[in-house]
């Protein structure tokens, strides 16, 4: 009897130790990156300067559903050339459509405050980082459209990467078979609850890509590498014991802009009001430990 009791106690202790040991396995600290959309954040131009909607145009702040990016880099200072910082992410690319392009079928698409990247901090080079560069590739948002004095809501997909290979993409029940490369500015639109859809291509250079350090660290034309400055530098020591959370706050302050035919602040494509800009209007990165 004593032997049986001893064995039961020993087995219970072993199981308890095993479970505790498993639960105490350390999880490596991560650099966790999320997006945020702010319609009240300052509206910038390509040079990172405050910008208002020009006379003759109108704009609205779209309601974002999701976003994707294909490149993420931390830069030590304003003189760091694009690509010379700590490149922590680059999405899949393909030559299926001919020229090198972002492979949209493999894009990671997230909503606001969802985790876009989680990178072990041990893989982030030690450094003192002042700037973030993120190359946006895809936006999905809702806008208001007017037709015959009636306002409707629809979803717009905007492909702002340098070049994107797209098979077939969907907005609700609307399918858009592309099976080709599309340069920056390809878009598609579908109304909610009504059988209407369309697509098109914005002209080259029509997408605003704010870069406040353009004079010292320019970006290639046709790319969507948005640059933002930390309020306080992000310092990585590789001795971190907890996660570091980086939030990329993007300005959608009147980021959807068109030329007005009727000056009423309503987007009415049926009367010839043409979109002139779909680019986000600034990046403010921040971090928490």
pLDDT digits (tens, 9 = 90+) for 202-254: 888 889 999 999 999 999 988 999 999 999 999 999 999 999 999 999 999 99
| pLDDT of amino acid 155 | 96
- CA pair distance 199, 189, nearest whole angstrom: 6
CA 278 to CA 127: how far, in whole Å?
A: 34
- 17 or 244: which carries more pLDDT confidence? 244
pLDDT at residue 287, rounded to an integer: 98
pTM, 2 dp: 0.88
Mean pLDDT over 262-281 rounds to: 93
The confidence score (pLDDT) of residue 8 equals 41
Asked if 139 and 67 count as a contact pair (C-beta separation under 8 A), the reply is: yes
Question: What is the residue-averaged pLDDT of the chain?
Answer: 91
Give pLDDT, residue 27.
82
DSSP 106: G
| pLDDT value at residue 26 | 58
CA separation for the pair 80, 69 (Å, rounded): 21
pLDDT at residue 263, rounded to an integer? 95
Q: How confident is the model at residue 14 (pLDDT cuts 50, 70, 90)?
A: very low
Closest CA to 145 of 206, 60, 202, 208: 60
| Interval 64-107: pLDDT, tens | 999 999 999 999 999 999 999 999 999 999 999 999 999 999 99
């Amino acid at each position: 009897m004593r032997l049986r009791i001893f064995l039961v106690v020993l087995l219970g202790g072993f199981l308890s130790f095993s479970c505790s040991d498993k639960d105490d396995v350390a999880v490596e600290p991560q650099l966790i990156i999320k997006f945020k959309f702010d319609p009240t954040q300052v509206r910038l131009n390509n040079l990172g300067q405050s910008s208002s909607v020009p006379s003759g145009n109108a704009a609205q702040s779209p309601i974002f559903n999701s976003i994707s990016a294909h490149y993420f880099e931390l830069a030590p200072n304003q003189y760091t050339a694009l690509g010379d910082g700590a490149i922590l992410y680059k999405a899949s690319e393909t030559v299926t459509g001919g020229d090198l392009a972002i492979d949209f079928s493999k894009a990671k698409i997230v909503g606001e405050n969802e985790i876009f990247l989680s990178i072990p901090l041990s893989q982030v080079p030690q450094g003192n980082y002042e700037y973030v560069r993120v190359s946006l590739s895809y936006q999905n948002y809702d806008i208001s459209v007017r037709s015959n004095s009636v306002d409707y809501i629809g979803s717009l997909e905007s492909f702002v990467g340098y070049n994107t290979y797209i098979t077939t993409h969907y907005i609700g029940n609307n399918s858009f078979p592309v099976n080709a490369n599309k340069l920056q500015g390809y878009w598609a639109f579908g109304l909610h609850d009504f059988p209407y859809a369309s697509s098109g291509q914005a002209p080259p250079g029509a997408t605003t890509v704010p870069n406040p350090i353009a004079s010292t660290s320019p970006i290639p034309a046709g790319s969507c590498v948005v640059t933002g400055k930390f309020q306080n530098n992000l310092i990585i020591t590789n001795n971190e014991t907890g996660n570091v959370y980086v939030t990329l706050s993007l300005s959608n302050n009147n980021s959807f802009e068109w030329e007005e035919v009727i000056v009423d602040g309503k987007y009415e494509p049926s009367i010839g009001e043409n979109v002139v800009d779909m680019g986000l209007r600034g990046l403010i990165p921040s971090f928490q430990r």
